[in-house]
A and B are shown apart, each in its own frame.
Chain A
């Protein structure tokens, strides 16, 4: 099942956008990266619970669906991050101060973005999911592997895109990485 109007050119241009974004982030060009975000952005990371499967839904895919594990921004639970443009600005500013000690000396990141899938088009807005693998390294031989999914809404602006909504699903069952405060 694919939405109409998803041409190879559209797929290509959205993938190129993500590659550019990944390059900016791994190069620590966070100020430039912030320019890819729409000023009305919702940027969030749901909490993710370890729940027993839903016995009432036995035999149906809903029994073990991913979304029931999430405490997202629309839930009454508690997301890990629930941010707007102001928070992102604050994080970007922090990165360019000498006393952002957790990343001074700077950590290294390298990310691979894949499985880019355009799920829906509504006017000039695209619903896109993508996966990431990210390697994060802090001095002291501390290397960590992050995996997850991004659920985005991209706004088309003058032949380019702006991120208007990003929901980041982390795949770790328990948080054993030094930070989830990265730009993902």
Chain B
């Protein structure tokens, strides 16, 4: 593979086109990034009852996330031990057994092999306890968010998330019963490299006033200029948000009010949003009550979009293809009919039908073309905007800057480069 230090320079202000397009780089990413990080699998609300399961992915590896009779959550590789077929073919459901279609070996929800139909006809009796589905070695959940890792010796999830918990809690604890995921994710195959959607959601609010000028009003962009922050808690993790003044009215600072559902969804919904905001200071403290989030990123490929209430995962499918998943999230305590109004905040703006994201996804596809111009290999992409301008902040953990500073992306690529290099040098 290419030397990672030739792809990303020391301060990560120059990023090689090969980072996005080279097949050997991609193979190394699978091993050294996705093989070693905590990867998002799903939310507890998707598998409430025993037998509930959803399909998930860890990079390209298909995973079944399921809840067994004893309430435990399990993550198993979706591949039969006999000849390798996926034993789970539905996107989600509820079951007692996963039965492989080919020869009907069947597995419990926790992944144990429970039956081999052919075994009555042979004298030799295979040891079923050794033939279950391969487990995802590490599985942890925090505030209902479930992550898995291929890396046995990875640090605990809470440590991995680190100070991002401060920013995630600003949203997750805002609602008395937390959040829940609504229905199935939107799954969208795009001809793009997985890192560009990640970068977009990690901190690239710079593109908003330009790429999205047809939709995002000038006042919204001005609010970001006036009150916007970009934060990196540690390389690869970051958040962008507005920190509104203490006297900002609830209609401008409260979660949900800036959305079309919040503005047109009726008096009862607005009353609910007001109520949420009235409790915000008690629940998350005075600083975070004034936070009006934009985008979040958790290394390597999880994103959270505060403004449109969605979790997203960028699943790689090769250097030039991504399966981009996104879920609507709503406050778990909201009445069912209000949840139905709120979910459109995500769906009509993001995902394949999204008014906004159609512009993003086209940009991601076009970037891949640029990344494949061999003749321009000596012209790496420029990531130097705002170099060195980030600083600590009295109230906000991490390094903080204006949203125009691209340090969020430099930090991501420094971690990415060092991760790719670590095993090469070991």
Q: How far is the CB of A183 from chain B (nearest CB, A)?
A: 11
Stretch at the interface among B34-42, B111-119, B181-189, B414-422: B181-189
Given contacts A50-B89, A80-B353, A101-B363, 13 further A-B contacts (CB under 8 A): A51-B93, A73-B340, A79-B343, A80-B186, A82-B344, A82-B347, A90-B260, A90-B355, A102-B361, A102-B362, A180-B352, A181-B353, A181-B354
Per-position contact with A for B87-105: 1 when CB-CB < 8 Å, else 0?
0011111000000000000
B344 contacts across to A, CB distance below 8 A: 79, 82-83
* B213 touches A (CB below 8 Å): yes
B91 contacts across to A, CB distance below 8 A: 49-51
Interface residues of B in 254-291 (CB under 8 A from A): 260, 264
* A86 touches B (CB below 8 Å): yes
* A78 touches B (CB below 8 Å): yes
Name A138's closest neighbour in chain B (CB-CB).
Answer: B362
A52 contacts across to B, CB distance below 8 A: 89-90, 93
* A87 touches B (CB below 8 Å): yes
B90 contacts across to A, CB distance below 8 A: 49-52
Interface of B is mostly: mixed
Per-position contact with B for A162-184: 1 when CB-CB < 8 Å, else 0?
00000000000011111111000
Name A80's closest neighbour in chain B (CB-CB).
Answer: B353
Per-position contact with A for B342-364: 1 when CB-CB < 8 Å, else 0?
01101110011111001101110
Question: B: which residues have CB within 8 A of A?
Answer: 89-93, 182-184, 186-190, 210-215, 260, 264, 327-328, 336, 339-340, 343-344, 346-348, 351-355, 358-359, 361-363, 365, 369
* A-B contact list, 23 entries, CB within 8 Å: A47-B183, A52-B90, A73-B340, A76-B339, A77-B184, A78-B184, A78-B343, A79-B343, A79-B347, A82-B347, A82-B348, A84-B264, A87-B260, A90-B260, A97-B213, A99-B213, A99-B359, A102-B361, A174-B187, A175-B187, A175-B352, A177-B352, A181-B358
- The answer on a CB contact under 8 Å between A93 and B355 is no
Name B215's closest neighbour in chain A (CB-CB).
Answer: A94
Q: How far is the CB of B110 from chain A (nearest CB, A)?
A: 19
* A120 touches B (CB below 8 Å): no
Q: How far is the CB of A57 from chain B (nearest CB, A)?
A: 14
* A117 touches B (CB below 8 Å): no
A109 to B151, CA, bound (A): 48
* A15 touches B (CB below 8 Å): no
* A111 touches B (CB below 8 Å): no
B365 contacts across to A, CB distance below 8 A: 178
B190 contacts across to A, CB distance below 8 A: 178
If A52-B89, A82-B343, A178-B358 touch, whether A94 touches B187 (CB-CB below 8 Å) is no
A102 contacts across to B, CB distance below 8 A: 358-359, 361-362
Tally the A-B contacts, defined by beta carbons under 8 Å: 116
- The answer on a CB contact under 8 Å between B182 and A78 is yes
If A80-B351, A81-B348 touch, whether A90 touches B215 (CB-CB below 8 Å) is yes
Q: How far is the CB of A59 from chain B (nearest CB, A)?
A: 19
* A100 touches B (CB below 8 Å): yes
- The answer on a CB contact under 8 Å between B186 and A101 is no
B340 contacts across to A, CB distance below 8 A: 73, 76
Q: How far is the CB of A179 from chain B (nearest CB, A)?
A: 5
- The answer on a CB contact under 8 Å between A100 and B92 is no
- The answer on a CB contact under 8 Å between A100 and B214 is yes
* A75 touches B (CB below 8 Å): yes
Interface residues of A in 46-101 (CB under 8 A from B): 47, 49-52, 71, 73, 75-84, 86-87, 90-91, 93-94, 97, 99-101
* A154 touches B (CB below 8 Å): no
B210 contacts across to A, CB distance below 8 A: 99
A178 to B358, CA, bound (A): 7
* A22 touches B (CB below 8 Å): no
- The answer on a CB contact under 8 Å between A180 and B353 is yes
* A45 touches B (CB below 8 Å): yes
A75 to B348, CA, bound (A): 16
A101 contacts across to B, CB distance below 8 A: 211, 359, 362-363
> Would you list the 6 A-B pairs with minimal beta carbon distance, nearest first?
A77-B183, A78-B183, A97-B214, A102-B362, A180-B353, A180-B352
Name A168's closest neighbour in chain B (CB-CB).
Answer: B353
Q: How far is the CB of A98 from chain B (nearest CB, A)?
A: 8
Name A54's closest neighbour in chain B (CB-CB).
Answer: B93
Q: How far is the CB of B299 from chain A (nearest CB, A)?
A: 26
B352 contacts across to A, CB distance below 8 A: 80, 175, 177, 179-181
- The answer on a CB contact under 8 Å between A78 and B213 is no
Choice from B260, B328, B343, B362 contacting A178 with Cβ under 8 Å:
B362
B363 contacts across to A, CB distance below 8 A: 101
A52 to B188, CA, bound (A): 21
Most chain-B CB neighbours within 10 Å: which of A51, A79, A83? A79
A91 contacts across to B, CB distance below 8 A: 355
